[in-house]
Amino acid sequence: MQIDASVSTRINLMRIVLISGIIFVHVPYDPATSPYLGQFGGFDWVHVFLADSLFRIGVPCLSAISGYLLFHRGLDAFDYRKTLRTKASTILLPFLLWNTAFLLLVYVAELRGIGLGYLPDVVNATPRELMNLALAVETWPINIPLYFLRDLLLCLILSPLIALAVLRYPRTVLALMLAYAVLPLPNGIFLKKSILFGFSFGVAMALHRIDIKRVDRFAVPVVLAALVMALLLSVALYDYGPQFPIWLDMLRSLAAIAGIFGAWALSALLIRTGAGQSLSRLGGLSFWIFCAHYPLLIVFWMIWNRLGIGEYPLFYAASPVLALAILVSTHALARRFAPALHAILTGRRMGDRKPAVAESHQRPQMKPTGSIAHRR
């Protein structure tokens, strides 16, 4: 089955929107500026809403996209060896390059006394700690958001088993994976359990030929329901945080997974706009933003604290905007002046394709000199 052109366009749109939203999840803060202290009034609630509720849908939704695209041609057309070879260059290689480059930069900076306390102590790290920081074998990589690529690679390795399982027993397998993702169970080999469910859900949609555009006629109520869900969740998180009871942590995981439907419904609305069509052609940019935004935010945080400006709400509002401006510019420069390097760093996601016509429209905590609160 060839993928519908409008579906492909909407998937590209979702990627850039969700990844841009993930930036708000990773904006640094320290214990003195924690949104759960309530010292900045309504801003703190907005902070919790964006970072701990609304944009948490990004990871399971991007996982579902990956699973769907991998098997949209069906199980018979799936070539496991070819898939692993392809993903080695489009996922594994970019992961290694982006993560080890940041690791080396941190090492050089810490040798000169720069950045101590903001990131793991690389200079004095044990071989095992360095291995984890570089390869994320057991724990988070030093470029924390790249755990998604690490877990996605695991899903790809397991993809034949996942495909057979969801093809034969879709309801049972997805129910078990949902329980694994939501209940307080050990993570096992995954760093983020929702990635396995999202990937498997996408595989099931593809193999069972589910018409994923069926929800489009209910796009507005589905998007509104997702927003209400995120609002109610943020109220509870703000009231109980930062240490959430088990039931609330489970609700947060469940809401993030349910957000898959809200994000897809939103794409049906956004793709009808000129801005949505333009964003859908930025495939390489979305991957560039995903891989590079976290190091940039850490640099902003170090500079901000060094200058002693204060007014954390200003930092939270300005840093994602500034990061996006820099990342868009550097992506364009790399594509123009170093196309070979750009291709490697983006896994050959070039983007800027002709638009398809839409169907209806033709945690550690952060201190300036100590630990940083990393959202994962």
Whether the predicted model's global pTM rises above the 0.85 cut:
yes
Contact 202, 63 (CB under 8 A): yes
Give the three-state DSSP class for 116.
strand
What's residue 335's pLDDT? 92
pLDDT digits (tens, 9 = 90+) for 223-276: 999 999 999 999 999 999 788 999 999 999 999 999 999 999 999 999 999 998
The residue to which tokens 């009871």 are assigned: 245
Q: Which residue has the higher pLDDT, 75 or 369?
A: 75
pLDDT digits (tens, 9 = 90+) for 333-371: 999 999 999 999 998 876 554 444 333 333 333 333 344
Least confident of 91-105, 269-283, 294-308: 269-283
124 CB neighbour count, 10 Å cutoff = 8
- Average per-residue pLDDT for the chain: 90
Cα 196 from Cα 269, distance rounded (Å): 28
Q: Residues 6 or more apart from 184 whose CB is under 8 A from it?
A: 246, 249, 250
Domain boundaries, the chain: 5-345
Helix ranges (H only) for the chain are 5-25, 42-48, 58-70, 80-87, 93-111, 127-135, 147-157, 159-168, 170-182, 193-207, 219-240, 246-270, 274-279, 283-307, 312-337, 339-345
What's residue 284's pLDDT? 80
Percentage of residues of the chain with pLDDT beyond 90: 78
Helix (H) or strand (E) holding 201: helix 193-207
Give the three-state DSSP class for 245.
coil
300 CB neighbour count, 10 Å cutoff = 19
Whether residue 186 is preceded by a cis peptide bond, meaning omega within 30 degrees of 0, is: no
Least confident of 11-15, 199-203, 298-302, 361-365: 361-365
Cα 234 from Cα 231, distance rounded (Å): 5
Banded model confidence at residue 372, pLDDT cuts 50, 70, 90: low
Least confident of 3-12, 156-165, 195-204: 3-12
